[in-house]
């Protein structure tokens, strides 16, 4: 476990054995009773089974059939339903002798009501397993539904780290984008629309049973969505690599993910039918997931969650806009600065410096036509205060290499707004 000691790294963080911090609230972190603990044990968490490549969808149906689940719930979104993909998966399941019910109302930032409505359909049909079909939104909603099915209560009860007692229902996560890695992680993000925040639920019990990445389901992905989800994956690699919970395994996953993204993202952005690039992006986003699922994230995600919850903005776009600015501030930490320099080389920069890594991110955003700044996204400066407060209460910031003051968080937002 790598820990960072800089002048302003003020929080003394008790670590769980899995490397994710036990407390979420800043007030708790500042408590005098908060004592540092150390552990030589590092856990590593991924789904028991994962399938990749053309035909992975059909292979996963065979796997489910062998498990003899007689009734399943498909959780997806209106877009997937409209293009007929959920119907296709339902037909494959029915041919395998499985009864199917469908919840297809998941919103781009799934909310509490999505979870409640999906759970109702699950119970009405006595489903014994859940299939998520889509990108991160569908997977997150399905995880929340499957968790409540075995634990009860409301999804807000499980905000934080490992708050549940029971494993969620068996969950088969079929991916249709290459970015979030939600098909394989123990993270689920649900919007509380009343409070205008996103709740981060980090729980081993929501890890899917089977992750499916079939590039044939992604060939029609529009360029803008390809770019946004790809930058989400790159953000996972960056944040995991500079995380204070990084270890040699997560480092290897993050750097290989960066290599594949460098080679493939711009190619598949230009040509969505590029089979090799699509397949490599499936591996890249999964590697990125392996990295952050075990090393956690940082202030890019802590802030992006707030932008998504407050303005209903696309998560990957928020990450892409914020990533270079947060990493610029992370250079205050010598270890993080060194690691950003290593990343720069993997991004093809001749200079292995933190500054060149930040510059590479700006250049990549430009190539992918990512919005230039927060102003273009409709973010309002008068909201910076509450956005900063909420970000500092988000679980993801706890493994950031530098623990920023509120003024510094607001300064990051200002720089991302003005650039």
Asked which of 170, 185, 217 is the last residue of a domain, the reply is 217
Q: What is the CATH number of the domain that holds 158?
A: 3.40.50.1970
Q: Are residues 75 and 135 in the same domain?
A: yes
- The pLDDT assigned to 39 comes to 53
Q: Are residues 174 and 254 in the same domain?
A: no
Q: What is the pLDDT of residues 66-112, one digit of tens each?
A: 998 999 999 999 999 999 999 999 999 999 999 999 999 999 989 99
Q: Are residues 318 and 386 in the same domain?
A: yes
**Is residue 5 domain-resident?**
no
End-to-end CA distance of the chain: 35
Q: What is the pLDDT of residues 230-251, one digit of tens each?
A: 999 999 999 999 999 999 999 9
- The pLDDT assigned to 41 comes to 81
- The pLDDT assigned to 31 comes to 30
**Is residue 286 domain-resident?**
yes
Q: Are residues 195 and 69 in the same domain?
A: yes
**Spans of the chain below 70 pLDDT:** 1-40
Total domains, the chain = 2
- The pLDDT assigned to 197 comes to 87
- The pLDDT assigned to 21 comes to 36
For residue 402, give its domain range.
Answer: 223-418
**Is residue 283 domain-resident?**
yes
Q: Are residues 187 and 321 in the same domain?
A: no
Summary mean pLDDT of the chain: 90
Residue showing tokens 């081993």: 204
**Is residue 1 domain-resident?**
no
- The pLDDT assigned to 40 comes to 66
């Amino acid at each position: 476990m790598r820990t960072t000691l800089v002048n302003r790294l003020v929080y003394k963080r008790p670590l769980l054995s899995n490397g994710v911090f036990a407390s979420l609230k800043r007030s708790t972190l500042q408590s005098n009773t908060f004592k540092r603990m150390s552990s030589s044990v590092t856990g590593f968490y991924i789904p028991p089974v994962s399938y990749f490549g053309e035909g992975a969808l059909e292979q996963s149906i065979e796997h489910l059939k062998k498990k003899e689940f007689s009734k399943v719930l498909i959780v997806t979104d209106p877009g997937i339903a409209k293009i007929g993909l959920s119907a296709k998966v339902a037909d494959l399941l029915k041919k395998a002798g499985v009864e199917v019910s469908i919840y297809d109302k998941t919103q781009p930032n799934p909310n509490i009501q999505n979870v409640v409505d999906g759970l109702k359909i699950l119970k009405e049909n006595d489903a014994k397993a859940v299939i998520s079909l889509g990108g991160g939104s569908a997977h997150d909603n399905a995880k929340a539904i499957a968790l409540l099915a075995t634990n009860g209560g409301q999804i807000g009860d499980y905000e934080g780290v490992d708050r549940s007692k029971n494993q969620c229902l068996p969950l088969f996560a079929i991916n249709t984008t290459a970015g979030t890695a939600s098909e394989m992680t123990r993270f689920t993000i649900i919007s509380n629309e009343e409070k205008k925040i996103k709740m981060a639920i980090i729980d081993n019990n929501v890890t899917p049973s089977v992750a499916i990445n079939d590039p044939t389901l992604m060939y029609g992905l529009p360029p803008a969505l390809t770019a946004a989800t790809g930058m989400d994956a790159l953000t996972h690699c960056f944040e995991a690599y500079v995380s204070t919970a990084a270890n040699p395994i997560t480092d290897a996953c993050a750097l290989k993910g960066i290599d594949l993204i460098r080679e493939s993202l711009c190619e598949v952005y230009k040509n969505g039918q590029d089979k090799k690039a699509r397949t490599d992006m499936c591996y890249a986003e999964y590697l990125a997931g392996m990295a952050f699922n075990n090393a956690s994230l940082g202030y890019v995600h802590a802030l992006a969650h707030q932008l998504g919850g407050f303005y209903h903005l696309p998560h990957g776009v928020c990450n892409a806009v914020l990533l270079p600015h947060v990493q610029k501030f992370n250079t205050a930490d010598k270890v993080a600065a060194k690691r950003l320099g290593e990343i720069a080389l993997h991004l093809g920069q001749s200079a292995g410096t933190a500054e060149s890594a930040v510059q590479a991110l700006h250049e990549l955003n430009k190539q992918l036509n990512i919005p230039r700044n927060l102003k273009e996204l409709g973010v309002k400066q008068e909201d910076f205060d509450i956005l900063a407060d909420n970000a500092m209460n988000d679980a993801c910031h706890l493994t950031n290499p530098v623990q920023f003051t509120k003024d510094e968080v607001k300064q990051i937002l200002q720089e991302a707004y003005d650039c």
